[in-house]
Amino acid sequence: MSERGGVLCSHCLLPVSVRAMQRTVNGESHAFCCYGCCIAFQVKNGKSEEWEAAWLLIRLGAGAFLSMNIMLFSLLLYAGAFTGIDARLLPWIHLLLWVFATPALIILGGPFLAETWRDAADGRVTSSALIVLSVGAAYLYSAFAVLERGPHVYFDTAAMVLMLFTLGRYLEAAGRARAARNLEPLLAAESECATVVDGSVQTRRPVREVSVGTLVRVRPAERIPLDGTVMEGESHADEAVITGESRLVPKGVGSPVIAGSINIDGPLLIRSTCAGTDTRWAQICRSVRDALTRRSPTQRLADRIVGIFVPLVLSLGALTALYWVQWLPFDRALLIGLAVLVVACPCAVGLAAPLATSLGIGRLARRGCLVREPGALEQLARTRLLAFDKTGTLTSGSARVVRIETDDVAADEVLARAAGLERHSEHGVGRAVTAAAAARGLNPVVAADVRILPGRGIRGNADGQAVVAGNRALMSEMGWSVAPALGERGRSLEADGYSVIYVGWGEQVRAALALDDATLPEARSTVEALQSPGLHVMLLSGDLAPATQRVALAAGIEDARSGLSPEAKRAALRRLRQKYCVVAMVGDGLNDGPVLAEADVGIAVSSATDLAREMAAVVLPRGGLWMLPWVIDVARAVRMTILTNLLWAFGYNLIALAFAALGLLQPVLAALVMAGSSVLVVLNSLRLERLPDPVCMALSGWHPTAAAQSGPEPFSVRTEPMIKQG
């Protein structure tokens, strides 16, 4: 499916091994990671017209029918129903059990045997080998017992062990599919089709074949397959998967739409603005698939342990049987050995980490947070130091008016006049001033004869007066007078690292506007939420000390270092790692790539447009800084779940193993215990679904992407709620 080789199970979206189970369901070829997924997928998606889908269920039903009959007769045997005068019936009952057991074993045991065979071809011995071995031994012993007219047969053990393991696999797979629910919309980009409109003809075409400028129709409740602009229709879109925006975004003619978002309530006709494979959605899809198919370090460790665990258990089972055969009849000793094999099946261990990780990745993805390394979540949970970059991370990355110093005029008048000039400018300063005026709802004073003076400012005429906005040099050049107090305040602002724009009219300098790359409004609450005894927050900036200090103060970070080149930042991270073990770096992903790569976990907040070149392991949506505490909470919950899963899987195995070796656990009970163990691991992991959603704190009325709906380039424009008046 993916050109990078990773194949995901059609049912639970966990990676499948080299030799997957291939089945054709509803005419499509599917790969499954295990037998359980194969059953669960066909139960869920099998159409009744499909013989194939029903066939699996029929076999299971027939197997269950036979096993239950075996179990019934065996229960009656154990209860002593065939003693006394009925004793001569016993061999016939045994024969009947054999007749029932043989097809049951073929039906139910076949998939396990096939799995063992596939693994053996790869040179691996896995848990299915233990099942096959124990069931086979019980069956063969019983068959001999029937021929030899022995007193006991254990067909019930063979059949019930298979039945319980099949049931366990099914339940496990059903739970895993639940875990994959959040990931489905992200992975859909590869299989999605678009309704392409060409004149009066509408055709369904795979998204990957759609190019720029194509007209595409999107019906209500459909996923918007391409980035584009609305040509016709009005609707609302749910963009959470891509942008993290949890509210519905209104769309009308001319609004941009994002691939992967869901068109809620009206039909739309859109013109694509980029090819189907270049959308962020398609990139996210590739990236998530990559992350899911790679194994985290914990998982590799668990796999290695399982690899040595199985041969160990095999020899332990043999030793147990050998030990007990000295004290007990052969069949009892054999049963104890088999119980050891069955109870030691490390099914749950293999499931512990990937399930929790994929749940965590899916949970984050639903709010537009992307995890690109499976191990990143675990690393993030262990992080002791979180270093922020300044520009573009804690600050908006674009200049804005933060202070207005005036000389006996109203700040609004200053802004209105300055905006009248600056709206003719394409310069960042110009945009900052017009935005500030717009934010206050001011109408710019119309200026004529506007001339841009490169490097100095801008001038024009309004109401018959010359109006000028520019730097100190421009003001001296004009020869206009400055009130001493205003001049002094301007100079002190300049010393503090602000860029200062003077505004004057009527031959007099009236005001000084201080521009700064202002701290994001959510920076402080985010840092407050992050700071805890276990997590040190610091600021690493390449900027001058006063500017850095200002942002550190505004964000509430005590430990700030300034004047660091990218190389110095990397060196600082290396030093800090010695003290804090695991360090994470939050940067803007555009300029900080190498620094993010140096950290154990790189987190990008406003990432590069091309995800493939992204260096960060975790990518937050643009304007998603406020989600960082939540992301870390999720990461911690994932790590906790993995640890409890592993502890449970191993601890449970060891305790049950001890019981089995002591002869206190019947093989059937052992199978029940084992099947229950993996179901419990699934249930424990599914608790991750109940984690709360991120809450946007501290700023009532402010929303991360509230301002993003209007501009042609979304998510970079911000309102100006924080202008101070001097």
Partner 1 sequence: MAYYLMLFAAGFAGSFHCIGMCGGFACALGRDPSGHGATVLRHLLYNTGRLTTYCFLGGLAGALGEVICTPQGMTVSLVGGSLDSAQRILAIVAGMLMIGMALQFFGLLQGLHRFAVGFGSSTLASSLRSLLTAHGNAAPLAFGVFNGFLPCPLVYAFVAQAASTAAALPGFLTMASFGLGTFPAMLMMGGVGRALAPAWRQRGVWLAGSCILLLGLVTLGRGILPFTAHVAHGWPGGFPA
Binding site for partner 1 (CB under 8 A): 43-44, 46-51, 53-55, 57-62, 64-65, 68-69, 71-72, 75-76, 78-79, 81
Nearer to partner 1, 55 or 92 (CB): 55
Given a contact cutoff of 8 angstroms between Cβ atoms, the answer to whether 682 and 171 are in contact is yes
Centroid of chain to Cα 133 = 39
Nearer to partner 1, 58 or 553 (CB): 58
Expressed in angstroms, the distance from the first to the final Cα of the chain is 61
Nearer to partner 1, 71 or 369 (CB): 71
Given a contact cutoff of 8 angstroms between Cβ atoms, the answer to whether 54 and 48 are in contact is yes
Question: From the CB of 652, what's the least distance to partner 1, in Å?
Answer: 22
Lookup: tokens for 483? 């009130």
Question: From the CB of 86, what's the least distance to partner 1, in Å?
Answer: 12
Nearer to partner 1, 177 or 435 (CB): 177
Question: From the CB of 600, what's the least distance to partner 1, in Å?
Answer: 42
Residue 712 DSSP SS3: coil
Nearer to partner 1, 172 or 598 (CB): 172
Question: From the CB of 50, what's the least distance to partner 1, in Å?
Answer: 7
Nearer to partner 1, 53 or 467 (CB): 53
Question: From the CB of 162, what's the least distance to partner 1, in Å?
Answer: 15
Cα–Cα distances in angstroms (integers) from residue 392 to residues 389, 590, 612, in the given order: 8, 9, 20
- Shortest CA distance to 151 belongs to which of 215, 93, 233, 222? 93
What is the DSSP-derived secondary structure letter of residue 395? B
Residue 691: partners with Cβ closer than 8 Å, 6 or more residues away: 363, 633, 634, 637
Question: From the CB of 28, what's the least distance to partner 1, in Å?
Answer: 16
Nearer to partner 1, 71 or 595 (CB): 71
Task: Write the DSSP assignment of 217-283 as a string of letters.
Answer: EE-TTSBP-S-EEEEE--EEEE-HHHH---SEEEE-TT-EE-TT-EE-SS-EEEEESS-TTTSHHHH
Measured distance CA(714)–CA(218) in Å, rounded: 21
Measured distance CA(106)–CA(491) in Å, rounded: 90
- Shortest CA distance to 542 belongs to which of 558, 560, 524, 555? 560
Nearer to partner 1, 27 or 712 (CB): 27
559-561 and 536-540 strand pairing: parallel
Question: From the CB of 149, what's the least distance to partner 1, in Å?
Answer: 24
Question: From the CB of 68, what's the least distance to partner 1, in Å?
Answer: 4
Question: From the CB of 54, what's the least distance to partner 1, in Å?
Answer: 4
Our separate counts of H helices and E strands in the chain read 22, 26
Residue 502: partners with Cβ closer than 8 Å, 6 or more residues away: 468, 469, 470, 471, 472, 474, 475, 482, 490, 509, 511, 512, 513
Question: From the CB of 666, what's the least distance to partner 1, in Å?
Answer: 11
Cα–Cα distances in angstroms (integers) from residue 466 to residues 287, 507, 619, 684, in the given order: 56, 8, 49, 72
Question: From the CB of 38, what's the least distance to partner 1, in Å?
Answer: 14
Measured distance CA(69)–CA(93) in Å, rounded: 12
In single-letter form, the type of residue at position 390 comes to K
Nearer to partner 1, 176 or 536 (CB): 176
Label residue 45 exposed, middle or buried (CB < 10 Å: 0-12, 13-18, 19+). middle
Residue 95: partners with Cβ closer than 8 Å, 6 or more residues away: 146
Measured at the CA of 149, the angle between CA 144 and CA 151, to 5 degrees, comes to: 95
By annotation, the residues acting in catalysis are: 389
Nearer to partner 1, 169 or 286 (CB): 169
Location of structure tokens 């841009």: 452
Starting at the earlier edge strand, list the strands of the sheet with 583-587.
370-371, 618-619, 601-604, 583-587, 385-388, 536-540, 559-561
* Sign of torsion over alpha carbons 410, 411, 416, 417: positive
Residue 397 DSSP SS3: coil
Measured distance CA(321)–CA(574) in Å, rounded: 55
Nearer to partner 1, 53 or 334 (CB): 53
